[in-house]
Amino acid sequence: MSPEHHEHRKKRFARIRRAKWFLRYVPRRARFHRYPLIGRFADIARKRDYLWSFRTESVRPALYYGAILAFMPIMGIQVGIAFFVAILARANVMVMAALQFITTPVTFLFIYKGTYEVGRIALSTAGIGTRDESIGGDAAFTTKLMNILSSVTSPEAWGSMNWGEMIAALFTGGLIVGVMVGFVLDVIWRIASSQAEARKLRRAVEKLDSGSTRTGA
């Protein structure tokens, strides 16, 4: 084995190890049945090869749909929704599930506050507007969010709470931010794919040249 080929193999295995590390917590084909809720659909998932494919036509929609879901105010049920969206969109379910870990119990407050502000500004700019103004600190935002959650289960409070406007801002902002993040990830994926194709072509040429040299000798 030539030093160049050995170096290519080392880099390839390093990329595989990084990919496995990144995807270690997401649903995989062999272990899909172990995951709560969606595990009961393991047979359906395993029969659909596109859910596990890393071809561009499966990854690109997963990047966009996964990013949009990640920024929606649906923490706790994102992975389940991502599974069904992946089937409808014929997208890679592992990529979509991995993106849902953007929003966690640690990051959700920062993310939802940001998407709320983006959505509020977008709706106001579009002329739809909301009565809500910019919410100050994290504590004020958390209080408002908790008040909305409590009012949802209290029909008598529906008339006095404008929780619908905040929810609209959260979903609108989540959609905008999700599309933007999906676009950035798509660009990164295209660059990485191009580089991978270039490496594959370069290895093929080197192998062909090596074979021609041995034949000539």
> Would you state the pLDDT for residue 77?
85
> Would you state the pLDDT for residue 171?
92
> Would you state the pLDDT for residue 12?
63
> Would you state the pLDDT for residue 75?
84
> Would you state the pLDDT for residue 49?
85
pLDDT tens track of the chain, all 217 residues? 556 555 666 666 666 666 666 666 666 665 666 666 666 677 777 788 888 888 889 999 999 999 999 999 888 888 889 989 999 999 998 889 889 989 988 888 889 889 998 998 998 888 776 555 556 566 666 776 666 655 555 555 445 455 677 788 899 999 999 999 999 999 999 998 888 777 777 777 766 766 555 555 5
The range of the structural domain enclosing residue 180 comes to 3-216
The total number of residues shown for the chain amounts to 217
Report the number of distinct structural domains present in the chain: 1
> Would you state the pLDDT for residue 37?
66
> Would you state the pLDDT for residue 104?
87
> Would you state the pLDDT for residue 80?
86
pTM of this structure: 0.73
